[in-house]
Structures are given as C-alpha cells and as structure tokens.
C-alpha cells in the first residue's frame, strides 16, 4: 500500500506580498502546505492571500518587534504552531561612505537582521515541542561578499548569515534546521525600482543599467524569484534534514 502523505505544515513567510517572498509563498501553496503570508499592511497581506490561495494572512512592520511578535502569535492561533519560518522581509539602501552614517546602519540592521531574531524567538518553542522545524532566511550574495555603495546593507546581510550559523549550532540537537539562501540580483520589482531610480538620476540608458546588475552573474541574467523559492522549498523539505547552518548561494556561479 502507498504511504499516506504527511499532513500539511504551517508555513509562515514574511514579506510575502511581492517579489521573492511571493514566489516562496506560492511554492509552498502549490506543495500543499498551510501557508500564512505576512505583509507590511493588512491590505497587502490579504491581497497576497487571495491571489496565492494561501490559508491565512497577518500584517506587521517587521522593524517593530512588538508588532511582529503579535502577528506571529496571531498566526499560531489561527493555524497552529509554525513548522516552517521563512524570514524574507528586507530591503537595501544605497549610499557612498560619505553619506552612510550610524543611522543608516541601524536602519539596515532593524529591517534585515532584527526581525530574524525576533521571529526565531517566537517560533522555536513551538518547533521544539513538535520535535523539529525549519527556519530559512533570505539573505543575499551581499551576505557573502562585498559590493560598493551598499556597505550598511552588506553588513546587515553578513549578520543574517552569522546569526543563521550560530542558531543552527544552538538548535542542532532539537530537530530544527536553520539555513539561509543568498540570491544574487533577482528579477523583482525591487531591482526594477532601483534601475528606475538610477535611470532618473543619471540619465543612462535602461539597458546599460540592467547590464550593470547582470554582469555579476556569469550566466549573464537576473535570477528568477522561482529559482530562489525552489532552494527554500528544498531546505524546508525532509530530504534536507541534515543540512543546517548553510548559506546557499543562488547566483548563477557568482560565488
């Protein structure tokens, strides 16, 4: 007789309303998991839920630790303890050193790193009680190398990778794995907006600006959000049970 399929898990994806987070949430929905999408606003979260066919939606500004904790608590009340946490919400600021100050660094840490810690603290007790779980954070190739003019962002994403490795060791005996994926430049509205801004600021041709983004990738193209999502789904799957503390580059051979 065929083995019965495992019951769907509660998967929560932050920053799920657009870009990479949306692709990740869509992948888990397609895999039959019970997905909660977390958006910055109730309207964006509810819209993503409806469009993706997700089970639940919650909203929080992830830079507000108390609001994020409340949203995670509400998600657990709706759908049970989180079995798979995907920390995807984040963002970048571009500035040369002369215009990068401590406040710039603090903003990047508050947006990209602090929510990873807050969310992990919120979900780990339930994962321990269940005998295991998966935490995957979307970092960046900027967490594995440097890029000019995004020093604060690089510092923050390096911190995500460091936190991932530390938590992986701390939780290794609990059945909880903790990993990061590190995409290169990806075909999202975030990159599109960056190109729009540069085009307006510099007057350079859009095609030439796109080349600046794709030149880092030996494949000569932007990464597709679905390719990042596939890596996340694998790390969250049963076959990756012995994979923890890793920072997996999805970057066409850049690293």
Half-sphere exposure of 238 (CA within 13 A, CB side): 5
Strand, helix or coil for residue 35:
strand
Beta bridge partners of 180: 137, 247
Query: Which ranges of the chain would DSSP assign to H, the alpha helix?
Result: 19-30, 42-52, 65-79, 102-112, 114-130, 151-171, 189-202, 206-214, 225-235
CA distance linking residue 110 with residue 152, whole number of Å: 11
For residue 29, how many other CB atoms are within 10 A of its CB? Answer: 19
Catalytic residue, candidates 10, 25, 49, 153? 153
Q: 3-class DSSP state for residue 107?
A: helix
**Which of 24, 215, 224 lies closest to 137, judged by CA?**
24
Does the active-site annotation cover 153? Answer: yes
Round to whole Å and give the CA distance between 69 and 62.
9
Tokens standing for residue 85: 């946490």
DSSP character at residue 15 = T
Q: Which residues contact 198 (CB under 8 A, 6 or more apart)?
A: 204, 209
By annotation, the residues acting in catalysis are: 153
């Amino acid at each position: 007789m065929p083995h019965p399929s495992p019951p769907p898990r509660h998967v929560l994806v932050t920053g799920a309303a657009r870009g990479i987070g949306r692709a990740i949430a869509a992948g888990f929905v397609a895999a039959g998991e019970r997905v909660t999408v977390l958006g910055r606003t109730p309207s964006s979260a509810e819209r993503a839920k409806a469009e993706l066919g997700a089970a639940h939606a919650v909203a929080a500004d992830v830079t507000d630790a108390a609001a994020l904790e409340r949203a995670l608590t509400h998600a657990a009340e709706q759908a049970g303890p989180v079995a798979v946490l995907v920390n995807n919400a984040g963002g970048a600021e571009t500035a040369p050193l002369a215009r990068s100050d401590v406040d710039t660094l603090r903003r990047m840490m508050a947006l990209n790193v602090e929510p990873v810690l807050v969310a992990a603290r919120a979900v780990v007790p339930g994962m321990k009680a269940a005998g295991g779980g998966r935490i995957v954070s979307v970092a960046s190739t900027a967490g594995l190398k440097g890029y000019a003019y995004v020093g604060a962002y690089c510092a923050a994403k390096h911190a995500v990778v460091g936190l991932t490795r530390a938590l992986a060791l701390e939780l290794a005996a609990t059945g909880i794995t903790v990993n990061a994926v590190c995409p290169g430049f990806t075909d999202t509205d975030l990159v599109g907006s960056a190109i729009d801004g540069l085009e307006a600021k510099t007057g350079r041709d859009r095609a030439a600006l796109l080349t600046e983004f794709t030149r880092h990738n030996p494949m000569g193209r932007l990464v597709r959000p679905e390719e990042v999502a596939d890596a996340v789904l694998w790390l969250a799957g049963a076959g990756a049970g012995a994979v923890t503390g890793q920072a997996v580059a999805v970057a066409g051979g850049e690293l």
